Structure 1
């Protein structure tokens, strides 16, 4: 039997990583509304102009709770990606 010793700081970092991985594997419910950075990451785009174009054309849902805060609906982003997916041959 082998004993592994960890400093308490390293132990808590390890626990946080394990919990994060378990949440990821269990498909824990994600937030419905995401920021523009997260929306661009999900859509794999780099330009805020492209994101605004998708919003203006009604291709993805958004909410604007305050003048400078725009949130995007994760489900509509996933639906948009599904609608534009192509089947393999």
Structure 2
């Protein structure tokens, strides 16, 4: 096992670069289709019934590639939220 020693400044510079790299990858990796749990998290709802109601009323887009798998369109969820924005006075 090898031990690598770094000066404090070099360590923090390396750490900052690693954090920047991870954040840039995370932003690029935003998936278009998300599961119900993530959709409920974005919408700030706790009820699967409410999510189903939004889906059934056509307020958010979804795809059902298999019988028990329902995926939601992240963009349509964001559009739904934006559609209900109340402007300040």
TM-score, normalised relative to structure 1: 0.74
The CA deviation at 1:21 is 2.0
Residue 48 in structure 1 maps to residue 48 in structure 2:
yes
What is residue 88 of structure 2 aligned with on the other side? 88
The CA deviation at 1:53 is 0.6
User: Considering only aligned residues, what root-mean-square deviation do their CA atoms show, in Å?
Assistant: 2.6
Show CA shifts across 1:25-74 (max 9, x none). xx425211100011011111111111001001110000000000000001
Show CA shifts across 1:10-37 (max 9, x none). x9xx94x54322335xx42521110001
Residue 21 in structure 1 maps to residue 43 in structure 2:
no
2:75 aligns to what SS in structure 1?
A: helix
TM-score, normalised relative to structure 2: 0.74
- In structure 1, list runs of 5 or more residues that go unmatched: none
